[in-house]
Amino acid sequence: MLNLKKIKKLSDLDWKDEKVFLRLDLNVPIKNEKILDLSRIKAAIPSIEYLNSNGAQIIIGSHLGRPKNNKEYSLAPVAEALGGLLKKEIILIEDPVSDTAKFLLPSVKKNQIIMLENLRYIAGEKNNNSELSNSLSKYITSYVNDAFGVCHRVHSSVNDVPKKIKKKAVGLLIQKELQSLDYILSSEKKMLLALGGSKVSDKIALIEAFVDKIDTVIIGGAMAYPFLKAQGKEVGKSFLEKSCVNTAKKILERFKLRNKTIILPTDHKVVFELNKPEDIKTVSEIPSSKMAVDIGPLTSAAFKNELKNVEQVLWNGPFGMFETKEYSDGTINFAHDLSKSNVTSFVGGGDSSSAINKSGVAEHIFHVSTGGAAFLEYIEKKTLPGLEVLI
Ligand code: ADP
Ligand code: MG
């Protein structure tokens, strides 16, 4: 494996008069052109300010959503929000691979910043072709990646562009992500792994990655159902990733052999129909006709109790369908329990992070990762393709 310690930080390089392409992750949730969560925009500010105050001119690039054409998912609302927070004018360039940025750059004032439109408007962004690097090479001198959330991708703004540029570094956000993740990966402190969410197959690797380091795993959300099923329990109409039942069985056996514990829900909130939250009931066994949408209060209490026995917690995946208020207690209560306990907590995953932000306790959590899949992949592999190209 390559030595990621060789990657330069902003403070390692001189930025005076540099023209920097700054890859950010401004992929915020947007509905009807309204931004629902500003966290990623706020998280981008320290690197922008660092580069600006050290004499660099920056050109910001980011993706947003999965646009099918060049009209969907414009970065315009993002540019406006970022400009408001920075108290600067953001000049949004409609075609990210045109020469407009090159011509504008010499006349850009101190209170203005250039931003390219959604990088996924470029046909070759996802194919990692050289359209973007050919265009940028006409006017940039250096590259900074502060988009942790996309470092697992081999896309041109994360991979091809930095490959072709000598002067490159990670931004302050990635620096903090790596410091925090490396800390938890190398720490000898007693740790609890808390897992939930719905992308079960992606997460089983997380248990494997930590099996030697942890004594206890607590599992909620849809992640719990393959494990309950493996124990022969009824999961009714709950969301079940059937392909994971066998793996769940093996994990249960391995944990038992090693005298380690997996704590599964002992009560559940269930409904007949998802869109009838008013009919929600708490049960100890899931009836065959109903689906579980959240963990019950006994499970919440058992999860909370585990916090007394550990010094740190790694949490990925909500314990229920927290997007619906009636199904959010298990997730929000655990966020509050974490924030009030003495444990050092790390939360990662796109939905988990947004649940933490929703619960209003984010400032009491030691580290809330801005990466979803990137966070999981880094924990598993201790490297990411978007980082390796920065060495
Ligand atoms: P993250 O983005 O934090 O890694 P995931 O993407 O794996 O988490 O899972 C988040 C999703 O899991 C949420 O949309 C949530 O509604 C869903 N979820 C949680 N519990 C359940 C459940 N019991 N049944 C179905 N979906 C669930
Ligand atoms: Mg998710």
Q: Is the pLDDT of residue 2 over 80?
A: no
For 144-172, the pLDDT digits (tens) are 999 999 999 999 999 999 999 999 999 99
Task: Return the residue whose CA atom lies nearest to atom 10 of ligand 1.
Answer: 197
Residues 123 and 229 in one domain: no
Q: Is residue 349 in some structural domain? A: yes
Per-residue pLDDT averaged across 38-62, rounded?
96
Number of domains into which the chain is organized: 2
Question: CA distances (Å), 272 to each of 83, 188, 202, 238, 248, in order?
Answer: 46, 45, 28, 10, 26
165: domain CATH number is 3.40.50.1260
Residue where a domain terminates, one of 124, 153, 175? 175
Residues 153 and 248 in one domain: no
For 113-144, the pLDDT digits (tens) are 999 999 999 999 999 999 999 999 999 999 99
User: Both tokens of residue 167?
Assistant: 């002067």
* 246 exposure class (CB count in 10 Å sphere: 0-12, 13-18, 19+): exposed
Residues 138 and 54 in one domain: yes
- Please tell me whether residue 334 adopts helix, strand or coil conformation: helix
Which of the four pLDDT bands, split at 50, 70 and 90, describes residue 71?
Answer: confident
The residues, any chain, with a CB within 8 Å of residue 312's CB and separated by 6 or more, are 184, 187, 189, 190, 191, 192, 343, 344, 345, 346
Q: For residue 330, which ligand has an atom nearest its CA?
A: 1
DSSP label of 118: -
Place of tokens 């969560």: 37
Per-residue pLDDT averaged across 239-252, rounded?
93
User: Both tokens of residue 139?
Assistant: 């006017």
Euclidean distance between CA atoms 386 and 156, whole angstroms: 10
Ligand 1 atom at minimal distance to the Cα of residue 292: 23
For 254-264, the pLDDT digits (tens) are 999 999 999 99
Residues 166 and 192 in one domain: no
pTM of the model: 0.86
Roughly what angle, to the nearest 10 degrees, separates helices 200-210 and 245-257? 20
Residues with CB under 5 A from ligand 2 (ion): 350-351
Going 208 to 214 to 220 to 226, the CA torsion angle's sign is: positive
With a pLDDT cut of 90, the percent of the chain lying above it is 84
For 234-245, the pLDDT digits (tens) are 999 999 999 999
Per-residue pLDDT averaged across 11-39, rounded?
93
For 275-307, the pLDDT digits (tens) are 999 999 999 999 999 999 999 999 999 999 999
Q: Are the C-beta atoms of 46 and 82 separated by less than 8 Å?
A: no
Comparing 175-179, 324-328, 375-379, the range with the smallest average pLDDT is: 375-379
Residues 152 and 193 in one domain: no
- Residues touching ligand 1 (Cβ under 6 Å) are 196-199, 221-222, 238-239, 292-293, 316-318, 320-321, 323, 349-352, 372
Residue 121 C-beta-side C-alpha neighbours within 13 Å: 18
Question: Residue 1: its pLDDT value, please?
Answer: 63
Q: Beginning with the edge strand found earlier in the chain, give each strand of the sheet holding 168-170 in spatial order.
A: 89-93, 112-116, 57-61, 19-23, 142-145, 168-170
Residues 19 and 157 in one domain: yes
Amino acid sitting at position 16 = K
Q: Is the pLDDT of residue 83 over 80?
A: yes
How many H-runs (helices) and E-runs (strands) does the chain carry?
A: 14, 17
Task: Return the residue whose CA atom lies nearest to atom 24 of ligand 1.
Answer: 222
Q: For residue 355, which ligand has an atom nearest its CA?
A: 1
Euclidean distance between CA atoms 313 and 18, whole angstroms: 41
Question: Residue 293: its pLDDT value, please?
Answer: 98
Per-residue pLDDT averaged across 43-53, rounded?
97
Range of the domain at 156: 4-175
Residues 127 and 261 in one domain: no
